[in-house]
Amino acid sequence: MSTDPHTTDTRTDPDHLADFETAAHDDRPDIALRSVVVEYEGRPDRRTVYPEGVFGTERMTSWLTADDSAFVDLDVAR
């Protein structure tokens, strides 16, 4: 996920579906999300979240990356 040559690029979690339980508020379809964590030496690990089944240019414009510590388990947060 990173183009940084100093990235160790070992993943702490396999690429997996996010387990969200949310109520539908409109007639738009649910979007399955996937995420991957990239470990770095000497700086925070980063998690990237993106829609499942999206490739190419569409994936490059529909992802979010943040420090892995910014993400919390939904069951713990509720």
Per-residue pLDDT of the chain (78 residues), as tens digits, is 444 444 444 445 555 555 556 565 667 777 888 999 999 999 999 999 999 988 889 888 999 999 999 998 888 888
What pLDDT is recorded for position 15?
57
Of 49, 46, 40, 36, which Cα lies nearest the Cα of 68?
A: 46
What pLDDT is recorded for position 30?
78
Q: Is the pTM of this model over 0.75?
A: no
What pLDDT is recorded for position 49?
92
